[in-house]
Amino acid sequence: MARKKLIAANWKMYKTPDEAKAFFAEFLPLVAAHTRDEIAIFPSPVLLPTVIDAAKGSKISVGAQNIHFADEGAYTGETSIGQLKAIGGTHTLIGHSERRQYFAETDEIVNKKLHAALKHCIVPIVCIGEVLEEREAGKTAEVLKKQVTGAFAGITPEAAAPIVIAYEPVWAIGTGKTATPEMAAEAHAIVRAEVAKILGAPVANAMRILYGGSVKPDNASALLNQAEIDGALVGGASLKADSFKAIVTY
């Protein structure tokens, strides 16, 4: 069965509520008739209510860039999955490389968050990817396998259906350097094989693996036309309605 592609916008720490509203006013008419792919937007937490409201009545899903794994508690600055759900959020990123790099997120934390998201029926996008030194040292496969194994510890095939993976080579994020479609497809195949080892081939074959890292309107179609690439996680080029629309409609 063909995997429906998911094109996701990670807005990172950009935009005010007014800017988010302006984006939607421009973006919604551009994709109103687009049903081929799923679209999801991940704004920073303060924008979530505005963006969820703006997306109402459309097919666009809205999610958090990060969630805490605890149901509630004394965790200053954090957002729980229950809070995300209560306002209508349906998805979350987990383990983005910027969370791993700047906020010390480990595979163990990623694993706890993945369990929490599945428990609460929130669609998790688990982000993995190697840094430049690891790629240059020929360690890409090893790193990806370790990240997948760590993230998926204790996850059963029965529970795994909602999981999406995003392969984002860290050296390609925000740098303008993109993995070639062949490099990305090769990494995706490694990841899918590892998922198959852990959860079985049927789960692995159904799981969507997105590519992220300097996806732009001019490289989107080459990447997204690879059979192994099931969508994109887009940073910079998702901030403007026209460029994100061009990627969505690659």
Catalytic residues: 96, 168
Write b or e for each residue in 142-174: b if 16 or more Cβ atoms lie within 10 A of its Cβ, otherwise e: ebbbebbebbbeebeeeebeebbbbbbbbbbbe
Can residue 235 be called a binding residue for ligand 13P (CB under 6 A)? yes
Q: Which of 20, 40, 118, 233 binds ligand 13P (CB under 6 A)?
A: 233
169 touches ligand 13P (CB under 6 A): no
* Residue 202: CB minimum distance to ligand 13P, A: 28
* 63 belongs to the binding site for ligand 13P (CB under 6 A): no
Instruction: Name the segment binding ligand 13P (CB under 6 A); options: 17-25, 166-174, 188-196, 217-225.
Output: 166-174
Residue 55 within binding range of ligand 13P, rule CB under 6 A: no
Does position 111 interact with ligand 13P (CB under 6 A)? The reply is no
Instruction: List Cα–Cα distances, 9 to 12, 62, 176, 180, 240, in angstroms.
Output: 9, 9, 16, 20, 10
CB of 123 to ligand 13P, least distance (A): 15
Task: Choose the binding region for ligand 13P from 21-29, 71-79, 116-124, 230-238 (rule: CB under 6 A).
Answer: 230-238
Q: Please state the three-class secondary structure of 119-152 as a single string.
A: HCCCEEEEEECCCHHHHHCCCHHHHHHHHHHHHC
Q: Which residues bind ligand 13P (CB under 6 A)?
A: 10, 96, 168, 173-174, 212-215, 233-237
